Amino acid sequence: MGVGEHVRQIADEPLQQLTCHYASGDLLVSFDRHNTREQYGAPYLQMHRADLHALLVERLRALAPDAIQIDHRLVEVSLSDDATSQGVSLRFENSAGREIERRVPAVIGADGLKSLVRRTLWQVEPPAYSGFVAWRGLAEASQIQAELSEGSKVFAGPGRLFVRYPIRQGRLMNYVAFLKVAEPQGESWSQQGEVTELQALLVGFHSEVAAILAATPEGRCHKWGLYARTPLAQWSRGDVVLLGDAAHPMMPWFGQGAASALEDAVILGRCLQESTSMAEAADRFQRTRLERVSFIHRESQAGGERLTALHPERLRDSAVRNEDSLGLMSYDPVLGPLCA
């Protein structure tokens, strides 16, 4: 799309990733990312989701001004029962309460974890609470009263994990705390959490963690119950195909869900260019993506228990399983082969 240079400008490039003991801060595992460009032909970047969205929207509008219509909530999707009738019917509502109906030749359902397209057209099992809650927060870097090491850092403790990394050229410190909680919790991006509650839950963590929590402004902390979903065997139905979390929702332990959705988009785009119908493109898309996505799904599923095990010291001696060590970053969706 020609946004590479802009992405680099809005992103942060952590040159190291450290995993430390939650209380003492002693180093357990270290990843050097200085050579990422030489190794993989691209830098390892971290960024604010809203910044990436804004960039993609701006570029897409420049390329195809009518491609995006905002303020349209999909409320119904249906395939025709009549074999002679082609296409998919969609019904939207906007914030003014207006209803908009469309009949379109094909649909890409990229509507996320709770996809309406998936819920309507597929038989899905209800998600199962994973036993973990993720607390997400954004702290003002200038307000953090501690000397922080560069790059990203993980503090690993029994049943509790704190991950932090800089975004917006270091002006914000993004963090996610994962906590084992027996009681099922709500699953939502927008569920507010109180920093004071998180501070109580992370008692005993290193002073760096306390300093980051103390620098979190009001309203910048959210909690999210993590739910596991069974992968779908089939990502398309007729002229409807699912992509990203809608197709393969995964646990966040590998930080690969958004990356996988972007890879999907590139591969599906290539399949559409090289196929004569949506059904053919969707079939190639799934066959090209399934093995890799299923692998990441399985690894992500197992990550939580490993990273929050009773004795974090053991991480020092055990084989590391992350995106580097498992070779995930060697993959190139732009140039890699498509299934025939």
Ligand X SMILES: Cc1cc2nc3c(=O)[nH]c(=O)nc-3n(C[C@H](O)[C@H](O)[C@H](O)COP(=O)(O)OP(=O)(O)OC[C@H]3O[C@@H](n4cnc5c(N)ncnc54)[C@H](O)[C@@H]3O)c2cc1C
The active-site residue out of 22, 44, 165, 227 is 165
Q: Which phi-psi region, left, alpha or beta, contains residue 252 (left: φ > 0; alpha: ψ -120 to 50)? A: alpha
Number of H helices, E strands in the chain: 8, 13
Closest separation in Å from C-beta 81 to ligand X? 23
What is the C-alpha separation between 232 and 235, in angstroms, rounded?
Answer: 6
Near ligand X by CB under 6 A: residue from 256, 286, 300, 308: 256
User: CB of 130: closest distance to ligand X in angstroms?
Assistant: 11
DSSP track, 4-16: HHHHHHH-B--SE
Q: Return phi, psi of residue 83, to 5°.
A: -65, -25
Binding to ligand X by residue 74, rule CB under 6 A?
A: yes
Q: Does 131 bind ligand X (CB under 6 A)?
A: no
Could you tell me the smallest distance in angstroms from the CB atom of residue 292 to ligand X?
14
Of 167, 161, 168, 190, the residue nearest 251 (C-alpha):
161
Q: Under the criterion CB under 6 A, does residue 1 sit at the interface with ligand X?
A: no
The answer to whether residue 112 forms part of the interface with ligand X (CB under 6 A) is yes
Q: Which is nearer to ligand X, 214 or 328 (CB)?
A: 328
Q: Quote the CA–CA distance of 321 and 106 in Å, as a whole number.
A: 39
The C-alpha R_g of the chain, in whole angstroms, comes to 21
| Residue 254 CB, nearest approach to ligand X (Å) | 8
Q: Determine the interface stretch with ligand X among 61-69, 105-113, 140-148, 286-294 (rule: CB under 6 A).
A: 105-113
Long-range contacts at 276-281 (CB < 8 A, ≥ 24 apart): 277/239, 278/105, 278/106, 278/236, 278/239, 278/241, 279/236, 279/238, 279/239, 281/241
* Structure token pair of residue 141: 């870097």
- Which residues, in sequence order, are CB contacts of 51 under 8 Å at separation 6+? 10, 167, 168
The tokens describing 184, both together, are: 């099922």
Q: Which is nearer to ligand X, 11 or 110 (CB)?
A: 110
The reply on whether position 111 binds ligand X by CB under 6 A is yes
For residue 79, the SS3 value is strand
- Binding of ligand X at residue 261 (CB under 6 A)? yes
Residue number, 112 or 159, with CB nearest to ligand X: 112
Applying CB under 6 A, what is the total number of residues that bind ligand X? 21
Q: Is 165 annotated in the active site?
A: yes
CA distance 35 to 258: 23
Closer residue to ligand X, CB minimum distance, 8 or 73: 73
Shortest distance, position 220 Cβ to ligand X, whole Å: 14
| Candidates 29-37, 149-157, 250-258, 313-321; binding stretch for ligand X (CB under 6 A) | 250-258
Out of 136, 153, 237, 297, the residue judged to bind ligand X by CB under 6 A: 136
Interface with ligand X in residues 210-239 (CB under 6 A) = 224
266 binds ligand X (CB under 6 A): no
- Kindly state the smallest distance separating residue 148's Cβ from ligand X, in Å: 19
How would you label 184-206 residue by residue, b for 16+ Cβ within 10 Å and e otherwise? ebebeeeeebebeebeebbeebb
Pick from 210, 259, 266, 320: which binds ligand X (CB under 6 A)? 259
Residues with a known catalytic role: 165
Residues that bind ligand X (CB under 6 A): 73-74, 110-113, 116, 134, 136, 176, 224, 244-246, 252, 255-259, 261
